[in-house]
Structure 1
Amino acid sequence: ACCTCATLLSAVPCVTSSSEKPLPDNRQLDCCGRVICHDCIQACTFWQKNPRFLSYCPYCPTSGPSLLTSRRRGRDGARHEKKENAMEATGKQKQGEPVLDQPPPPYTALSPSTCPSTIQDVREEVIIHHLRHTHPQDTLQSLALQYGIPPAVLRASNNLPLGADHLLAARHTLLIPARHCRNPTNRSPFPPEDSESLARKTAIRRWMVACKEANYDMALVYLDEAGYDLDEAVGRYMADTEWEARHP
């Protein structure tokens, strides 16, 4: 029987009523061995006509060779053969010509000493101003007056569009071009924090969150005793809390 319409293969007509030409043979699937009748493939009713059955199995996730694919492969093969024939013809024509084996031009060696100096010069030309948004003088106009630089140059050096000075509140640093400054010295309101101070502040906040303790001084005491080892400081606090619970 047909695997799509469940009709016996012996009951499927071999010709149609509109034409005396015989219909194509039934298609047997290579993947599962099922058979699709030619009536399901070539039927004229809209709910049965499905040309995908020529190269598709409705039960297995496989598909057979497509006619379009074979045609494309034939075209590509013909083009490839024409290209090979053209290359062979040009090769035969150039067999009598002398072959000039010229070496490629030598590479220009880049001296490594120029790169660090260039980077160092660029770094020296830029002053990194650390912003503190709580400080009232950290505005674009005030910084332009402090460093003696036009505001337009300051905006261009930091990719700030005209009329968007409020975007400065989302930045932590500002690049000051030293070649345009009258006073090429760093005028940050506060010195930048080093990595050790930032690590200490981070450890304090993590200890307060882990222990659910809002007392900042208590966090300093436990972390100082533990040498700013977060796990040890949290363990000591938990041990002290358990001891206080057992000895009210």
Structure 2
Amino acid sequence: MALDLNSDLGEGFGPWTMGDDAAMLDIVTSANIACGFHAGDPSIMRATCATAVRNGVRIGAHVGYRDLVGFGRRAIAVAPVELRDEVLYQIGALDAFAKTAGDRVRYVKPHGALYHAAAADRELAEALLAALADYDAELALLGPAGTELETAAAEAKIRFVGEGFADRAYTPSGSLAPRGLPGAVLHSEEAVAQAMSIAASRTARTIEGGEVAVSAASLCVHGDTPAAVEMARRIRASLAESGVQVEPFA
């Protein structure tokens, strides 16, 4: 059995940094790199792509709403045609730096509010997939399985890769529990246990203490989670010890 390990990286801005990207890029197999809309800037994009390529980590465009102040976590009303162009813009920007570093963007993952909105709204999902098809139909889409994103990807003939979260609790319906709820963000032992549960039985914990099915070929460990580096290192070691081969899906 094989499983990818990804993280949201490159999410600083100017002199302000978030997380230890260099350390995470020694552990993960795929990097979702911010494209300047919710976080990141050209210099950070260049540096993160360069480190990813040196470490053999696959590069993904982490596209979001144009919302630096809200870190892309606020719901924004964007017309589908505008969203298509904004996603296309972000993919192209990151791909320039990926190619400069010696590789290319291989997949796309929506960020924050866009991740949840496109998972539930067919028009937004189709707009996002239209951008992938416009840029490169060989790109994969990383996102929540069993949602409008997966359905739209199938219709657009774009490869879809299901994602699970090691460090986030789920609702009984299978969506991520809102960050503001107690217990929504998992730490240390809880995150390691959840990663192993998703890998072994395709289930994750819910905010209410139950279980929910999670179909995932890639596991996410957020780079901004406290002690994220140590958590990711332990998750990768635990997966390997259980016989799971950790490798990129792209």
With normalisation by structure 2, the TM-score equals 0.16
Q: Relative contact order, CA 8 A, sep 6+: which one is greater? A: 2
Bigger proportion of residues as strand = 2
Bigger proportion of residues as helix = 1
Larger Rg: 1
With normalisation by structure 1, the TM-score equals 0.16
